[in-house]
Structure 1
């Protein structure tokens, strides 16, 4: 019915063992309680007879007129030595399968005489045996009911998981739909939200991969067409060596453009491999200062100013450092590319309520926020480039669980703000900005 790895199988097995133990314990305690109650009553009755005999010289007191209580009763006067063990109560099983309960009660201490009062409790023993059988029968029926209820209850518990499984198993890249979290039980809402985030990433991945393939084909087709056209024009008539050299130079330029596209596509493959790297703990501020040193000299050589302001002094996070470096490299390269000479690039970080915010703010031409610049082969401005940098940065940010945005400045200065929000665990309590 269930496989060895089935959760329901383990749940039912544990429930059966626990229910069996509970039935046995409950039945045993209930039977012992009933038995002790009946024996206490029988013992109290024998003590009452003994007290009446000692006090009134009669079996029944004035308040006891029930002659039926004398049936099966046997009374003897016995003499016991001082060294002999005296038992208050004891039970005797006879060969004829009858049982008697006997009380030894002091009668005359001077003569060492005692009352030995015995009573046949065979009907009581039979009654207790019937009670025990009834208890186990009732609990056995209850045990079966518990098992049936457990099967139904376990099926009800896994119904949402089964529904999610069927829905996800019927999905493909063309039929991916978010899960309606409001229709799930409260306990499964976090799972539904997690699956929706995963579905969103898959949808973006499929979307961008399609755009990547289409864009790569288009970008490679254009320089190939240029090369072919130039070669056809060159072959129409004989030309001078200088004209041949110029044609070859133009062909080489087209080949270089194709090489850039191929290199970026290979870079995407390497990044997908980096997403599978084992995350490690790293100091984010230390990484930012390393990039500050690398780009400070480049900014100086291009007559640009790189300013930095890193807060806090330390911020520990567990992530793939390679992917973080790809994002920072793209931010700084774009800022250097679009910032004119003599202008300033601000490279900074600060804390907010979710974690650390890393920003690269330039004084370039800004962006058209209506365009999805994170899509492959999307370019802005007249600068050279294939248009895969921000696509790589977006993929890397999603892989490390970060949020990446690209907006225009709102302080009256033209330029762009590239922002990375990295939520992580602080190594110590740090003040907010």
Structure 2
């Protein structure tokens, strides 16, 4: 089993494969989207431009061809009838040619060459090329092919020459070199490719800037988290980047502050708890060692036993309070239920009588027989009121009074625990509910663990109790606990919602 556990630990500790950083992934993703998306658009646009250039060239040739068929009708008919020689027809063709690179060839109805602007064209029967077949069938067709005469690629079109009866008497074949057309196509491709490259470079730069803006806060956040993992809790990352990332950094900074406060609080809590537990243990050990050494007289033994018992009681109370505070910190909140506080207050006033008798103080009770019900946990309310009464007994000089009173007013029930002890300075009131904090220094002799009021404060938040502290010279200190009256027609909440209690 140990071997399996060790193997699992090694598997977990084994470093993961090297992965691309978030910045690299963002840059690569953005760039690929632009590269392929814009690339596809550029290729489609270049192809459409190429098709349009070729179709425009073919259309221009077809228009020229039909115009030549009309303009040269009489000359071609005269040549067919023998009134005009082929050389004279050739001169007419050259005269009507708009572009020197354009070749005009006239063929009779049997596709025999009559004349051509290019003297290299042989006089004879022409092959039945696509454009000629289409012209014989009264259709428009073009063909791009290699021309052996000019030793270059050319585009060919053909148009019929019609007589008065709309019958074909001859055909005009018009061709132009493809080199200028290819140059226009290449220029179009080059321009669009340059735009593609430029936009891709710009998009890459924007991707780098955007990825850095998005990834840098996360990098800083990771660095801060790593520092926290090594024990450096005081870490704050700079808030920057997009809204979601900035919100994440804000949450991390808040978490870091809360974690630091919690760790420091726990360290202080453990140190104070150790100190509080050490004192009664040391006192008990000293007295028990003296009893074991038999250095006590018979009259001193009961006194030492009483002191040991008091130390045990103090130790027991401190441990109980620590356990209850720990449970509250972990979120263990018992359910709340409607509660009449009057019987509980009478019971607690009776239970505190032995402590009051020992402290030589008088307990006064001003509580009606019944109070409107409040939504609270009965055991936790008992702990709160008992701690306040115990606190009043400890801090009230002998011969004076303490008391508990309660009343229902304005939809709430308020319980007051008061004493006639010394007043609390404002700086003491500000820290009164902190753990291991006590009142004035002159009370230290009879002070407890310093957890009672802190426990009252924590329990008050769980039970939705508002706490108020009022302390005046020569009038003592009054703790007021106020709860809202529970309405039977109101929906009962499923779980308690802590509310902040004001500090005196």
Q: What interval of TM-score do these two structures reach, taking the shorter chain for normalisation?
A: 0.5 to 0.7
SS in structure 2 at match of 1:362: strand
1:148-180 Cα offsets, whole Å, 9 max, x none, are: 553354224322333344455446767726556
**How far apart in 2 are the matches of 1:108 and 1:392?**
118
1:333 aligns with 2:386: no
The TM-score, its normalising length taken from structure 2, stands at 0.56
1:17-41 Cα offsets, whole Å, 9 max, x none, are: 2122123223223313422442343
1:415 aligns with 2:479: yes
SS in structure 2 at match of 1:415: strand
Of the three residues 408, 416, 420, the one matched with 1:363 is 416
1:45 aligns with 2:57: no
Q: In structure 2, what is the equivalent of residue 423 of structure 1?
A: none
Distance 1:396 1:143, change over 3 A: farther
**CA apart distance, 1:49:** 1.5
- Residues 14-413 of structure 1 mapped to structure 2, 5 A cutoff: 14-53=29-68, 55-57=70-72, 67-68=98-99, 71-74=102-105, 87-94=139-146, 98-102=153-157, 107=162, 110-111=165-166, 113=168, 117-127=173-183, 128-129=185-186, 131-132=188-189, 135-136=192-193, 139-140=196-197, 142-144=199-201, 146-147=203-204, 149-167=206-224, 169-170=226-227, 176=234, 178=236, 181=239, 184=240, 187=243, 188-231=245-288, 234=291, 235=293, 237=295, 239-240=297-298, 244-245=301-302, 247-267=304-324, 270=327, 274=330, 287-288=335-336, 290=337, 292-293=338-339, 298-299=344-345, 301-302=347-348, 304=367, 307-308=372-373, 333-335=383-385, 337-338=387-388, 343-344=405-406, 361-365=414-418, 370=427, 371-379=430-438, 386-388=449-451, 407-408=468-469
Where structure 2 has 5 or more consecutive residues not aligned to the other structure, the ranges are 1-16, 76-94, 111-131, 350-366, 390-401, 472-476, 485-492, 495-504
**CA apart distance, 1:300:** 5.6
**How far apart in 2 are the matches of 1:294 and 1:176?**
47
**Bigger Rg over Cα:** 2
SS in structure 1 at match of 2:416: coil
What is the RMSD of the two structures over their aligned residues, measured on CA atoms?
5.2
Decide whether the 8 Å contact of 1:307 with 1:344 is kept in 2: no
Where structure 1 has 5 or more consecutive residues not aligned to the other structure, the ranges are 278-283, 311-323, 350-358, 421-425, 428-433
Q: In structure 2, what is the equivalent of residue 317 of structure 1?
A: none
SS in structure 2 at match of 1:408: strand
Decide whether the 8 Å contact of 2:58 with 2:142 is kept in 1: no
SS in structure 2 at match of 1:363: strand
Distance 1:14 1:31, change over 3 A: same
Q: In structure 1, what is the equivalent of residue 128 of structure 2?
A: none
Decide whether the 8 Å contact of 1:307 with 1:345 is kept in 2: no
How many residue pairs get matched? 374
SS in structure 2 at match of 1:20: helix
**How far apart in 2 are the matches of 1:393 and 1:118?**
107
Decide whether the 8 Å contact of 1:330 with 1:390 is kept in 2: no
